[in-house]
Chains A and B, each alone.
Chain A
Amino acid sequence: MDFNLSDEQTALSDSLSRFIDYHYSAEQRARACGRTEGFDPDNWRKLAETGLVMLALREESGGLGGSAIDMMVALQALGPGLILDPWLPTIIVARIIEQAGSAAQKRAWLERLAGGQVLIGFAHSEARGWGRLNHCETRAVPEGGGGYRLDGAKAMALGVGGGSLLITARTSGAADDPQGISVFLVDKAIPGLSRQPFRLADGSVAEGLILTDCHVGPDAIVGDADHAFPLLQRIIAHACAMLSSEAIGILDRMMADTAEHLRTRRQFGVALGSFQVLQHRMADCAAELELARALVVRAAMHLSDPAIAPAEQWIAAFGAKAFCGTAAVRIAEECVQFHGAMGLTQELWVGRAMKRLVLIAGLFGDARAHTEGNDLIRKADIIR
């Protein structure tokens, strides 16, 4: 048993913390957020140049072959920045292309994606999906010549500002069948695609998509038709573990900030922290945070361990996000409450952080979606 970070992991954490210090002051973040795409492309290139996306890619495709533990370390360090950059859709898209794409697709995209030079959005979730990865009503009907006709709607495409989108669509089966889902790489200029950008809670931008009679060529499909579900499960499970790690990074800063506030803010002639009711509520927050942290470490360890069956790895990752998201929202609400009216101002970090945490809790499904049908405790697993 070893719960320590390696020297490399500590260095990774330090360098990303420095990135946050240099590039994510409140003013810098507000400026980036004010742009149409909701982030600063220059900043994103700089973050990509630290090797964040490369770390998520395998060595055989030119990546750094980072483990889930490495990614946990990275995202935890980035957390306090409340970063707006499209690391999430980029890593998801890059991994899908890496793990399912053709040699030509890999050549065309992977390196530039990893360097932050191009951006591809990711669109899977739909209005009736509730975070179930098997849900996909958008249809892709084969046409003559190997192309497809896409029809449907996507509730939230992440990663705005690039020229392309990775869209899931159903090539066979009914709305909730795991079998029958495929992935398509679609140019945003394609006729029949309408996009409505909207702001998410943290100020980043997503798009709603409507696809009406969109014709794509034979080279648009990524991987085999009908078989995208296991790929999505694997890659979204890793994404959920990363989002949970980011939440832990945010929560650590939030607890530290709030404790500092309670030690220094004086009312009724005493420090707020001298009131037992606040002490005990903070103790409960600390207790919940430590459980969440332990589950995130567990998920990262499971995802990094080839001896554990994939399905169990994913259950650990989704479970971590279920617990982490729920705890994050509860702790954030408490911390905002303890800051009084100041906690409701856009000026203070704690309120902005709560918005990112609420978003994390709901991305790719809420706690209910993440636990549905999953037997979380496996004897084979706990008796290891």
Chain B
Amino acid sequence: MNLDLSPADMAFRDDVRAFLADNLPQPLCHAARMTPSVFVEPDIYLEWQAILRRKGWLAYSWPEEEGGTGWTPVQRYIFERECAFAHAPHIAVQGLKLLAPVLHRFASPAQKAFFLPRILSGEHLWCQGYSEPEAGSDLASLRTRAMRDGDHYVVDGTKIWTTNAHLSNWIFCLVRTDASVKPQQGISFLLIDMATPGISVSPIELISGDRELNQVFFDSVHVPAANLVGAEGQGWTMAKYLLEQERGGSCQAPGLLMALEELREAAQTLPARGGGTLCDDADFMHRLAMVELAALGMDMFELQSIADIAAGRVVGPKTALTGLYTATIRQDIDRLRLEAHGPGGLRLENHRPLYGADAPILIGREDAMLAMPAFLNNKAWSIMAGSNEVMRTIIARTVVNL
């Protein structure tokens, strides 16, 4: 047993670290740190993506034959880990990491040739149309209908919780093309230009004040049949394929460790109840330490998963735990941070962004302004991509064998 990287991976890590040190603009890092929502603003991620693209690293999770780096799972993991430690902004996952793998595996050569370069260039900004008002955790019950009419599909229905739909020019959707078969079998995967007549986007006001989620309405929207990925009825398989791609290869702990580092650093200067700084509050520091331990445990857990994948071993059902860990630890951190800032954390600033020339007037500490909206936004972690309750049911079945 050892944690050592191979000499080749070590050299790779040094390359990544050197690249980040030389090319990651500090204002972008600051913007990423001061973003209370799950995703950063497009101007931030587009600037970072352009830098990565020039280096040839934007498609770091893509296979080489699709124009990607062809990195091994370990290299991808190292890259994400180093990015997290460097506070790099997240790239736009919808196109690069959620849609692209489906296109790689299931799309026609023509579809690949058209869409993949536009994902890389940032010309197409994608959003994901999965959830519906009546189909959340129970995704297979989705009802947005796509009826074949000649060389078009006519789409009617609605998608909800669509992140950044208002900023996107394309949406990939799971739609029902056949209502007569088992729910999972009647679902297809359709790519839709947001400029198509009949689509409307309405914002959803969130408790944090962030403008991030939307409801998208489809009213007789005519989509070329050429935008169907794979065959009719294959949509559910594709959604599941994507989940399998994600499973086991996660790199969430480093970001959590960095957030904890910042909190421990803040504790050195934040005033504590009863005088002194928060570092003198043994109760708070103990609770912080226990969350730090959970994050360190999760870090090891992810490393083990990557080592398994690298060795060609089948990753076990235990990887279903990472979703639960990410949500729980993330929210523990946010709760602690809110507490750490005391009265200063009670401010809920509705203005965005919280950084740059247009930032709100600073009252007290900059990080205090982040505490409340981040706490509110990050409640999403235990709901999105399979709620904690769905995850627990999966874990009970596959890990505990109940």
A residues bordering B, Cβ < 8 Å?
A: 1-5, 69, 255, 259, 262-263, 273-274, 276, 278-280, 282-287, 290-292, 294-295, 297-298, 300-301, 304-305, 319-320, 322-323, 326, 367-368, 371-372, 374-377, 379, 382-384
How distant is the Cα of A382 from the Cα of B5 in the complex, in angstroms? 13
Cβ 8 A contact of B1, one of A3, A290, A322: A3
- Whether B304 pairs with A295 at a CB distance below 8 angstroms is no
- 6 nearest A-B pairs in the assembled complex, by CB-CB distance: A279-B396, A291-B297, A371-B289, A294-B300, A283-B392, A283-B395
Q: Which residues of A contact B396 (CB under 8 A)?
A: 279-280, 282-283, 286
Known: A282-B396, A283-B396, A294-B304. A301 touches B293 (CB 8 A): no
Least CB separation from A384: chain B residue: B3
* A259 in contact with B296 (CB, 8 Å): no
Q: Give the contacting residue for B289; candidates A1, A259, A322; CB below 8 A.
A: A322
Least CB separation from A285: chain B residue: B400
| Contact partners of A291 in chain B: CB under 8 A | 293-294, 297-298, 301, 325
Asked if residues B2 and A319 are in contact (CB atoms below 8 Å), the reply is no
Q: For the complex, give the distance between the alpha carbons of A208 and B257 in Å.
A: 42
A283 to B323, CA, bound (A): 12
Neighbouring A residues of B402 by C-beta, 8 Å: 259, 262-263, 273-274, 278-279, 282
| Cβ B395 vs Cβ A286 within 8 A | yes
Q: Specify which chain A residues have a CB less than 8 angstroms from the CB of B30 in the assembled complex.
A: none
The answer to whether A376 and B289 touch (CB under 8 A), given A282-B400, A300-B1, A384-B3, is: yes
A-side contacts of B292, CB under 8 Å: 319, 376-377
Q: Which residues of B lie under 8 Å from residue A290 when comparing CB positions? A: 297, 301, 318, 321
Q: Which residues of A contact B395 (CB under 8 A)?
A: 283, 286-287
Interface status of B219 (Cβ within 8 A of chain A): no
Residue B229 at the chain A interface, CB threshold 8 Å: no
Residue B310, interface by CB 8 Å: yes
Does B400 contact A382, Cβ atoms closer than 8 Å? no
Beyond known contacts A282-B396, A283-B324: 13 more, CB 8 A cutoff: A2-B2, A3-B308, A283-B393, A287-B325, A287-B395, A294-B298, A319-B293, A323-B293, A368-B286, A372-B285, A376-B292, A377-B257, A384-B3
By a CB distance below 8 angstroms, the chain B residues around A382 are 85, 254, 257, 296, 299
In the assembled complex, the Cα of A319 lies from the Cα of B293 at a distance in Å of 7
Interface flags for B293-326 (1: CB within 8 Å of A; 0: not) read: 1111111110110111010000000100100110
A263-B402, A295-B296 are known contacts. Are A69 and B393 too (CB-CB below 8 A)? no
Kindly list chain A residues whose C-beta atoms are within 8 Å of the C-beta of B4: 1-2
A26 to chain B, nearest CB (A): 25
Q: Could you tell me the distance between the alpha carbons of A316 and B400 in the complex, rounded to whole angstroms?
A: 28
How many Å lie between the Cα of A273 and that of B396 in the bound state?
9
Q: Are A3 and B393 in contact (CB under 8 A)?
A: no
Q: List 22 A-B contacts (CB under 8 A).
A: A1-B3, A1-B5, A1-B306, A259-B400, A274-B402, A282-B402, A283-B395, A283-B399, A283-B400, A292-B297, A294-B298, A295-B293, A297-B1, A319-B289, A326-B290, A371-B289, A371-B293, A372-B282, A376-B289, A377-B292, A377-B296, A382-B257
In the complex, whether B264 has a CB less than 8 A from a CB of chain A is yes
Residues of B bordering A, CB below 8 Å: 1-5, 74, 85, 254, 257, 260-261, 264, 282, 285-286, 289-290, 292-301, 303-304, 306-308, 310, 318, 321, 324-325, 389, 391-393, 395-397, 399-402
Contacting pair A298 B392 (CB below 8 A): no
A304 to B401, CA, bound (A): 34
Q: How far is the CB of B290 from chain A (nearest CB, A)?
A: 7
A1–B303 Cα gap in the complex (Å)?
8
B397: chain A residues within 8 A (beta carbon):
279
Bound complex: CA A220 to CA B389 (Å): 60
Most A CB contacts (10 A, CB to CB) among B254, B293, B399 go to B293
Supposing A290-B318, A367-B290 touch, asked if A279 and B300 sit within 8 A by C-beta, the answer is no
List chain A residues, Cβ under 8 A from B299: 294, 382
Report B279 CB to chain A, min CB distance, Å.
9
Output the residue of A262, A285, A294 with the most chain B CB within 10 A.
A294
Residue of B at shortest CB range from A273?
A: B402
B400 contacts which of A286, A298, A305, A374 (Cβ < 8 Å)? Answer: A286
> Smallest CB-CB separation from A373: which chain B residue?
B285
B1 and A5 within 8 A (CB): yes
Measured in the bound complex, the distance between the Cα atoms of B297 and A297 in whole Å is 9
CB nearest neighbor in B for A316:
B296
Which residues of chain B come closer than 8 Å to A262, judged between CB atoms? 402
The 8 Å CB contact of B321, one of A2, A279, A286, A375, is A286
Known interface pairs A2-B307, A292-B297; A371-B2 also in contact (CB < 8 Å): no
With A279-B393, A367-B286, A377-B292 already in contact, the answer to whether A2 and B297 are too (CB < 8 A) is no
Contact A276 B304 (CB under 8 A): no
Cross-chain contact B289 with A297 (CB below 8 angstroms): no
Measured between alpha carbons, how far is A377 from B264 in the docked complex, in Å?
9
Rounded to whole angstroms, the CA-CA distance of A209 and B304 in the bound complex is: 45
Chain A residue, CB-CB nearest to B261: A377
Q: Which one of B74, B260, B289 has the highest number of Cβ atoms from chain A below 10 Å of its Cβ?
A: B289
State the CA gap A193–B3 with chains docked (Å): 48
Distance between A221 CB and nearest chain B CB, rounded to angstroms = 35
* Residues from chain B with Cβ under 8 Å of A300 in the complex: 1
CA distance A273 to B401 in the complex (A): 9
Q: How far is the CB of B390 from chain A (nearest CB, A)?
A: 10
* Contact status A2-B290, CB under 8 Å: no
Interfacial chain B residues near A3, Cβ < 8 Å: 1, 303-304, 307-308
- Given A283-B395, A295-B300, A372-B282, decide whether A322 and B293 contact each other with a Cβ distance below 8 A: yes
List chain A residues, Cβ under 8 A from B401: 259, 263
CA gap between A282 and B395 in the complex, in Å: 9
**A298 partner, pick from B5, B264, B289, B296, beta carbons under 8 A:** B296
A320 to chain B, nearest CB (A): 8
Q: How far is the CA of A53 from the CA of B397 in the complex (A)?
A: 40
The chain B residue sitting closest to A70, CB to CB, is: B1
Picked from A1, A259, A276, A376, the residue with its CB within 8 Å of the CB of B2 is A1
- Residues on A with beta carbons closer than 8 Å to the beta carbon of B3: 1, 301, 305, 384
